[in-house]
Amino acid sequence: MTAGAGHRRAAEAIAEAATSAFPQAKIQCRDLLEMVPGWLRRGYPGTYYVLIRHFASVWGACFELLDRRLVYALVQPLRRAWNCLVARRFIRQLKADPPGLIITTHFFPTDVVVACREAGWLRAPLVVAVTDLYPHRFWLSPRAEAYVFATKAGALTAERRGIRPNRLHVLGIPIARAFSATFEPRDLERLFGLSPDRRTVLVTSGATTVGPFERVVEALIGLETSLPGRIQLLVVCGENAAAVRRLQARAGRAAMPVKVFGFIDTMPEAMAASDLIVAKAGGLTVTEALGRGVPLVLYHTIPGQERLNAQYASRHGAALIARDPAEVAAVVRRCFEEPERLSAMRKAAEDIRRPDAAEAIISQVVKPLLTKALEAEGSRLEGGPRASSPEP
């Protein structure tokens, strides 16, 4: 799903693990928004970003309201009818080429697949990989064979809401293997143009610049006065080309070394090169940083799922939450003035990291479900030939 880059990255990580585990199988990684009408494809992510940028309190209130049992019960039939209406192309594809197993990383395709299963014509097992630390009711349906959560608290919430305990798995949010890969420091310095004599702070905005991103960068550049010669910035602006131009111009006037990039496909390397990450509290950003074992300073949290992400990382000692750009700079300064603080945060991040979540999903959830499905199919065929290679 392109409604948030994290959902897509999680799906790609699972597809990578599945391709390795099932080299003869047909693995397809699909974005449902590419199969809906064009007006919705353009409007769905755009509406979301307008809400979180300009009406964050409204978004947070809706998030909490729709998570209440009675409100959800009233809204869900309308939501289901709408989702199936706009996803007709995807449903036709499922009918024409039924998969052997489906894994979803967003609640929109989850709801559509559940509707197809309830209609009786789709029998493929469904695995839902929840890419938020808190499972909103939109994620949950007793029709799914398995749910994967990042935390025990998430699994307990699902159990309280009626999901059978034997369908709940606490394995983490899937991230690409590259986030746990080993890189040579000199290679990273050459890749990003970094100085080996300074500590590196990665400042990232996510896919789009939400929150006071540019003011945070400006505040961090100001640390050259209080920490002369000690810090350099690696700034990733995502898809915001205007922010790239403005920050590159600002970097040219800065005494502190500042490297500014737009969207990059080397985020694992950027995190590996960093001593500290300053970011908004997106689920995949937090998970990838923890998977790398790098502590976080979180400068912006969207009400709802991101606030819960931030609280989780902070409660476990792997992140600090700052309310405004000045506080971000103060927190970063303290981290480098007190090396024991930064070391403790790094250890906390390493203690809760789950870099192998994608592989665990395949080995502990997908393989047993495929085996069970093949056995059931063999029973239905009364001893007929079984497929030699499953197609998740």
| Start-to-end C-alpha separation, the chain | 18
Query: Which CATH homologous superfamily contains domain 184-352?
Result: Glycogen Phosphorylase B; (3.40.50.2000)
pLDDT of residue 392: 38
pLDDT of residue 344: 94
Calpha distance 132→172 (Å, rounded): 10
| pLDDT band, very low/low/confident/very high, at 57 (cuts 50, 70, 90) | confident
Of 381 and 329, the one with more pLDDT? 329
Q: What is the DSSP letter of 387?
A: P
Query: Are 256 and 332 in contact, with CB atoms under 8 Å apart?
Result: no
Region 69-77: what's the mean pLDDT? 96
Intrachain domains 5-175+355-380 and 184-352 with the same fold: yes
Torsion of CA 131, 176, 35, 111, to 10 degrees: -30
pLDDT of 48 above 80 = no
Calpha distance 309→318 (Å, rounded): 12
Sheet holding 276-280: strands in order across? 258-261, 231-236, 199-204, 276-280, 296-300, 319-321
Q: Among candidates 194, 193, 250, 249, which has minimal Cα distance to 218?
A: 250
How high is the mean pLDDT of the chain? 89
| pLDDT band, very low/low/confident/very high, at 244 (cuts 50, 70, 90) | very high
Angle between helices 283-292 and 5-21 (to 10 degrees): 50
| pLDDT band, very low/low/confident/very high, at 385 (cuts 50, 70, 90) | very low
Calpha distance 359→384 (Å, rounded): 31
pLDDT of 388 above 50 = no
Residue boundaries of the structural domains of the chain:
5-175+355-380, 184-352
Query: Are 276 and 295 in contact, with CB atoms under 8 Å apart?
Result: yes
pTM of the model: 0.84
Region 260-268: what's the mean pLDDT? 92
Q: What is the DSSP letter of 386?
A: P
**In the beta sheet, which residues pair with residue 128?**
104, 147
pLDDT of residue 1: 47
Burial of 389 from C-beta contacts in 10 A (0-12 / 13-18 / 19+): exposed
Residue-wise pLDDT for 95-144, tens only, equals 999 999 999 999 999 999 999 999 999 999 999 999 888 899 999 999 99
Q: Of the given ranges (45-59, 276-290, 328-342), which has the lowest mean pLDDT? A: 45-59
Share of the chain above pLDDT 70, in %: 93
pLDDT of residue 155: 95
Calpha distance 127→24 (Å, rounded): 21
| pLDDT band, very low/low/confident/very high, at 4 (cuts 50, 70, 90) | low
pLDDT of 239 above 90 = no
Which runs of consecutive H residues, i.e. helices, occur in the chain? 5-21, 38-54, 56-66, 69-86, 88-96, 107-119, 152-160, 185-192, 213-221, 223-226, 241-252, 267-272, 283-292, 305-315, 325-337, 339-352, 357-361, 367-380
pLDDT of residue 9: 86
- Alpha-carbon Rg of the chain, whole angstroms? 22
Q: What is the DSSP letter of 66?
A: H
Residue-wise pLDDT for 313-338, tens only, equals 899 999 999 989 999 999 999 999 99
Calpha distance 144→78 (Å, rounded): 20
In this structure, what are the phi and psi dihedrals at residue 222, rounded to the nearest 5 degrees? -65, -15
Region 284-289: what's the mean pLDDT? 86
pLDDT of residue 389: 38
* Residue showing tokens 């970003």: 49
CATH fold group of domain 5-175+355-380:
Rossmann fold (3.40.50)
Sheet holding 168-170: strands in order across? 102-104, 126-129, 146-149, 168-170
3-state SS class at 234:
strand
> One-letter amino acid identity for 51?
L
pLDDT of residue 338: 92
pLDDT of residue 12: 93
